[in-house]
Chain A
Amino acid sequence: NLMGTRLAGSHVDTQEPKTNPLVCISDEPETLYKRLSILVKGHDKAVLDSYEYFAVLAAKELGISVEKVDKPPKTIERLTLLKSVHIYKKHRVQYEMRTHYMCLELKYLTSSTAAVYLEYVQRNLPEGVAMEVKKTKIEKIPEHIRKPVWDTLPQVEETEVKS
C-alpha cells in the first residue's frame, strides 16, 4: 500500500502552530495612553510641513485618531556681536536662529500601538529636526480613594447627651 508508506515518515498530524519571533503575546493588561503629544522642532518650515503630512498619513493608516495638528509660532533667538576683532564698538553684526514648531496630538492609544507608531515616525525623522514626545497615561483610581471615607468608617451609635 503506497499511500500509507508515503505518509508514515511525515509529521502531517503533529504540526506546531507557527509563531512569529517578532510578535510577543503577554497576558498583563496594556497601559493605555489618553494623549500622545509629539512636538517637532526645526529650522526649515517646508521640512516640517512635509513631515506633518507624513506623520498624519502614517497615523491614519494605522487607525490612530489624530486630535489636532497645532502650529505654535516660531521663536527667533537673536545675537548681536561686535563686527571687528579689536575695537569699533559702534559696528556690530546681528545673527538670528529661527525655530519652527509643529505639535501633533494623538488620542487614545495602547502602549504597543504607541511604540510601533513612535518607532516608525522616529526612524524617518529628517536630519536637522528634533522631536519631543509626551505621553498621558490613563490609570485606574487607587484602592484607597475608590469609595468616600465616610462610607467606610464603622457606624458610630448615637449616644444620648445627658444634660
Chain B
Amino acid sequence: TPLSPQTRAARVRVGKGDKLVTYEQAHPPHYIGHRKGWLSLHTGNLCGEAGAAQRAVEDAFLRRFLHGTFPGLLADAAVLKRRGNLLVICALLGRALPPHKLYFLQGYAETLLGHFYKCPVRLELQTVPARVPYKYL
C-alpha cells in the first residue's frame, strides 16, 4: 500500500469532539521552538557536543519508568533537565493518590534512579485537579 501524503508524526487526528487534548499534544513538532518548548533539555544535540544517543536512551527509559511508577496519574509529559551531573525531572500529576503515598513514590523514584544512573536525581512533582484542556478534538 502506498504511503499517505500527510505526515502523521506526533499529531492528534481530528475526531468527534470528545477527546481532550492538552497544549503539548495539540501542537505538531514543527512548532517546537516557536509555540512549544523542549521536553528534554541537554547539551547532546548542540554543534560540537557529544552524548546525544545516551541522553535519548536515558530519556526514553525515564519516561517509561515514570509512566509505570505513577500509573494513570501523569497529567502531561514530564520535562527532563540536566544541569551538570544533576538530573531534574519535573512532572505534573493528578490528585488520585493521597500525599503521603506520593511522597513515598517520589523518594522511591529518586533513590532508584540515582542508583541506576549514578548521578543525583531530583523529582519535582506538582498536582493539578485535572488535565488542562487546550482543545477537544
Contacts and interface: CB of A to CB of B under 8 A. Distances in A.
Interface of A: 41-44, 75, 77, 83-84, 88, 91, 93, 97-99, 125-130
A128 B81 CA distance: 8
Given A88-B3, A91-B3, A125-B83, A130 B46 contact: yes
Contacts of B7: 93
B88 A43 contact: no
A128 B82 CA distance: 7
A44 to B, nearest CB: 7
B102 to A, nearest CB: 24
Given A88-B3, A127-B83, A41 B47 contact: yes
Interface of B: 2-3, 7, 9, 33, 37-38, 41-43, 45-49, 81-83, 88
Contact of A83 (B3, B45, B49): B3
Contacts, number: 46
A127 B47 contact: no
A85 to B, nearest CB: 11
* Main secondary structure on B side of the interface with A: loop
Contact of A43 (B3, B33, B81, B82): B33
Contacts of A125: 83
A99 B81 contact: no
Given A83-B3, A98-B33, A130 B49 contact: yes
Given A41-B47, A44-B38, A127 B33 contact: no
A134 B101 CA distance: 49
A127 B45 contact: no
Nearest to A97: B45
Contacts of A91: 3
Nearest to B41: A128
A118 to B, nearest CB: 14
A77 B42 contact: no
Given A44-B33, A83-B3, A84-B3, A127 B46 contact: no
A90 to B, nearest CB: 9
A97 B45 CA distance: 7
Nearest to A83: B3
B43 A130 contact: yes
A39 to B, nearest CB: 10
A63 B47 CA distance: 32
B100 to A, nearest CB: 30
Contact of A128 (B9, B38, B47): B38
